[in-house]
Amino acid sequence: MVASIEHQEFFERSKKFFEDKDIENTLDHYEKALERIDRTKSKNKTKYIQFLDSILKFCRENNLPEQEALVLRALGRTYSVFKQHAESMKCHYQSLKIQKKLGKKVEIAEGLVFLAEDLEVSGNYEKSVQIFQEASEIFQALGKLRKIKDITKEINRLKEFSKEMVEDEYYLNKFQVDKY
């Protein structure tokens, strides 16, 4: 119950900041609300996506590419929370395209991590590892050692999982388990 109250408070503050055209605080409070959201209530999904769409429209109309990229990333994370990973990846790719154009290294690396997570959920483990490695290289260049350590753990976990999947498939075929 407490998380639900906190979630609503952060979301209301986010809307208030948007009314004041303070995009940075809007997104900051939105992210905090998203972390505390009740993922089981699908009605929340529409409310959040419409809110982010209005922020995205504002950013595009006012030529705010940096904020547009951050809104797209937040939209991607929102779709991911509600298990719409194809839409999430689309938003992350759009955000990354803008971030690369702007040369925002930290944001690029963070966006790559979110994209890799969605790729993992969609079952594309090899591409997920590749994207995680790309993010790790950027964090390495930036000296973000903690981020590199976290990503390395994810890469190792994914590689182990992929190995187990291949072994399981081998045994299923070898012993013709599917035929029983």
Residues 44 and 38: their CA atoms lie apart, in Å, by 8
Q: Each residue of 76-103: pLDDT tens digit?
A: 999 998 889 899 999 999 999 999 999 9
The full DSSP string for 130-157 is HHHHHHHHHHHHHT-HHHHHHHHHHHHH
Would you state the structure tokens that stand for residue 67, as one six-digit string? 């904020």
End position of a domain, from candidates 76, 103, 130: 103
Does residue 152 register a pLDDT over 70?
Answer: yes
N- to C-terminal Cα distance for the chain? 47
Whether residue 29 is found in the same domain as residue 94: yes
Residue with tokens 């904020």: 67
Average pLDDT, the chain: 88
Q: Which residue has the higher pLDDT, 166 or 161?
A: 161
Split at pLDDT 50, 70, 90, the class of 166 is low
Residue ending a domain, among 103, 133, 151, is 103
Model's pTM, two decimal places? 0.82
Q: What domain count does the chain have? A: 2
In a domain, residue 110? The reply is: no
d(CA 75, CA 113): 15
Quick one: pLDDT at residue 45?
84
Per the domain annotation, does 114 fall within a domain? Answer: no
The CATH number that applies at residue 79 is: 1.25.40
pLDDT of residue 38: 72
Residue-number span of the structural domain to which 130 is assigned: 120-180
Q: Considering the domain boundaries, does residue 175 fall inside one?
A: yes
Residue 111 lies in a domain: no
Tens digit of each residue's pLDDT (9 = 90 or more) over 109-127: 999 999 999 998 888 888 9
